[in-house]
């Protein structure tokens, strides 16, 4: 499965979306003709015409309520392009400080926090997770992928799960939004869910009640069988969520406090949270899911589930942020750990985190693929190869994207809020539009 498959719907059944539990939200849908009048694209930006055209393609046709992009080089200030409103029924225009659910764009942040702990000498890249959480010492693996959770379908893991494996989604851990059948049901029943997306049940969209704490999450995960042998195959997972608990253990701080102290505050990311303060909910967008070519609201600003304290800080998919804040994170990475004269990470730590960390035990063809291209994988994000060498970053389930080219410092992030979008849609188109504009700028320089 490709990254787009994992991040844009995950085998969502469209028909299920209009069951009785969904009726209240379904009534709030706007027809396409009305949506096209509400969402208007930004004007063509002279430096970013391809990105501007891409935004117009989605906004002018009413395919999305809003889009904000942040684009910049090196330590230069970003340029923001914005169009649309915080929801299809809102008159509030979006901008650099509008709040978006970034879902799995949380993963690179957790990845950097983990590498900071490695840099601090608190753990090592190839250290077994069992050193911190003993329950992971003797893991069992399913012989048949997504098969029965029975003794005849289990075998011992051939090696220990390590920090490296968790960073690169090669630990063999499952994901409730990826697995099917008994293992998916077991994850959901045990509260091993990666985030909360809505107050209503939306099939395939991170449903289920989460565990009571990050510690309980990790301990419950240790009781589950693995879906692959560790270190053999890239398989999207809760590995970064598990590392959130490891960070708590080795640092002696809560995971959210560690992120605030070590990343958000020194980077100047003043609007990145696991919970949106009540006083800031007017900045929050509405989140939608595409069903039968119609965008259906699943989380609205005034009653968002992100206004509640989460059961625990979801290190794989729990953050809300802004285009401005995420640009700050990417700017720090692109400058190898420094932003506005403040060193947030050491240069060796950034180089390690943004390099290909796949273990040499990987099976042939077991790596990560995005579309037709194969990539390496670093600390919670893809690592470019070939013509994409230097690229690092990741995507979010609501069609967001955040990437930085470590070679030339070009950073770009995209914010919008729509789940279940086509695999070949905005998330895949955005990096290519950026690349086209960057090439045009280079040619004219």
- All structural domains of the chain, each given as residue ranges with its CATH number in brackets, are 3-109+258-444 (3.40.710.10), 125-251 (no CATH)
pLDDT category of residue 264 using cuts at 50, 70 and 90:
very high
At residue 39, the pLDDT reads 43
Model pLDDT, residue 444: 86
Count the alpha carbons within 13 Å of 26 in the hemisphere toward its beta carbon: 15
Confidence of residue 182 (pLDDT cuts 50, 70, 90): very high
Average pLDDT over all residues of the chain: 90
Burial of 46 (0-12, 13-18, 19+ CB in 10 A): exposed
Q: What is the pLDDT, as a whole number, of residue 204?
A: 65
d(CA 196, CA 194): 7
pLDDT of residue 202: 75
pLDDT digits (tens, 9 = 90+) for 133-174: 999 999 999 999 999 999 999 999 999 999 999 999 999 999
pLDDT digits (tens, 9 = 90+) for 384-412: 999 899 999 999 999 999 999 999 999 99
- pLDDT tens-digit series, residues 335-347: 999 999 999 999 9
Task: Work out the percent of the chain whose per-residue pLDDT is above 90.
Answer: 82
Say what the pLDDT of residue 42 is: 52
Q: Tell me the chain's radius of gyration from C-alpha atoms.
A: 21
How far apart (Å, rounded) are the C-alpha atoms in residues 59 and 84?
7
Residues 6+ apart with CB under 8 A from 204: 9, 10, 11, 12, 13, 16, 177
Q: List the structure tokens of 206.
A: 């991170």
Q: What are phi and psi of 331, to 5 degrees?
A: -65, -40
Element (H, E) at 328: helix 323-334
Q: Which residue has the higher pLDDT, 416 or 1?
A: 416
Contacts of 363 (CB under 8 A, 6+ apart): 232, 233
Retrieve residue 339's tokens.
């932003």
| Strand 373-377 with 287-291, pairing | unpaired
Q: Residue 287 burial (CB < 10 Å; 0-12/13-18/19+)?
A: buried
Q: Is the pLDDT of residue 214 over 50?
A: yes
Q: Are 3 and 370 in contact (CB under 8 A)?
A: yes
pLDDT at 183 over 60: yes
Q: Which residue has the higher pLDDT, 224 or 207?
A: 224
Cα–Cα distance for residue pair 322/326, rounded to 1 Å: 6
**pLDDT of 34 higher than 70:** no
Stretch among 31-45, 125-139, 237-251 having the lowest mean pLDDT: 31-45
Res 45: pLDDT: 87
Q: How are beta strands 66-73 and 79-84 bridged, if at all?
A: antiparallel
Say if residue 20's pLDDT is above 70. Answer: no
Q: What is the pLDDT of residues 270-285, one digit of tens each?
A: 999 999 999 999 999 9
Q: Determine the Cα angle at 357 with ends 355 and 362, to 5°.
A: 140
The answer to whether residues 315 and 323 touch, using CB atoms and an 8 Å cutoff, is no
Residue 96, pLDDT above cutoff 80? yes
Residue owning tokens 């729509």: 418
User: Helix, strand or coil for residue 8?
Assistant: coil
Whether the CB-CB separation of 93 and 315 falls below 8 Å is answered with no
The strand ranges marked E within 342-431 are 342-343, 368-370, 373-377, 382-383, 391-395, 401-405, 410-415, 418-419
């Amino acid at each position: 499965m490709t990254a787009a498959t994992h991040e844009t719907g995950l085998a969502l059944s469209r028909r299920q979306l209009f069951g009785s539990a969904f009726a209240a939200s379904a009534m709030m849908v706007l027809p396409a003709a009305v949506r096209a009048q509400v969402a208007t694209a930004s004007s063509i930006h002279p430096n970013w015409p391809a990105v501007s055209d891409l935004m117009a393609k989605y906004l002018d046709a009413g395919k999305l309520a809003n889009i904000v992009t942040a684009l910049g080089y090196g330590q230069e200030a970003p340029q923001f392009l914005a169009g649309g409103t915080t929801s299809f029924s809102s008159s509030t225009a979006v901008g650099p400080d509008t709040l978006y659910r970034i879902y799995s764009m949380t993963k690179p942040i957790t990845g950097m926090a983990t590498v900071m702990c490695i840099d601090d000498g608190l753990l090592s890249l190839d250290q077994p997770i069992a050193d911190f959480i003993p329950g992971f010492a003797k893991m069992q693996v399913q012989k048949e992928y997504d098969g029965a959770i029975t003794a005849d379908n289990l075998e011992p893991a051939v090696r220990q799960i390590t920090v490296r494996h968790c960073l690169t989604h090669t630990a063999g851990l499952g994901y409730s939004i990826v697995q099917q059948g008994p293992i998916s049901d077991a994850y959901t029943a045990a509260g091993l869910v990666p985030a909360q997306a809505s107050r209503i049940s939306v099939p395939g969209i991170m449903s289920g009640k989460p565990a009571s704490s990050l510690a309980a999450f990790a301990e419950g995960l240790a009781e589950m069988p693995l879906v692959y042998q560790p270190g053999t195959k890239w398989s999207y997972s809760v590995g970064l969520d598990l590392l959130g608990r490891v960070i708590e253990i080795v640092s002696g701080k809560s995971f959210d406090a560690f992120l605030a102290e070590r990343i958000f505050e020194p980077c100047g990311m003043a609007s990145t949270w696991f919970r949106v303060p009540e006083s800031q909910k007017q900045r929050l967008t509405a989140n939608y899911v595409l069903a039968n070519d119609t965008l259906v609201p699943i989380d609205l600003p005034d009653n968002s589930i992100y206004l509640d304290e989460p059961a625990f800080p979801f290190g794989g998919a729990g953050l809300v942020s802004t285009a401005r804040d995420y640009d700050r994170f990417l700017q720090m990475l692109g400058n190898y750990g420094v932003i506005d004269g403040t060193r947030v990470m050491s240069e060796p730590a950034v180089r390690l985190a943004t390099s290909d960390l796949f273990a040499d035990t990987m099976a042939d063809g077991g790596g990560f693929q995005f579309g037709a291209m194969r990539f390496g994988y670093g600390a919670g994000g893809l690592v470019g190869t070939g013509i994409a060498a230097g690229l690092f970053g990741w995507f979010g389930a609501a069609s967001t994207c955040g990437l930085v080219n470590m070679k030339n410092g070009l950073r770009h992030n995209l914010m919008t809020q729509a789940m279940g979008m086509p695999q070949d849609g905005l998330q895949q188109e955005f990096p290519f539009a950026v690349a086209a504009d960057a090439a045009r700028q280079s040619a004219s320089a």
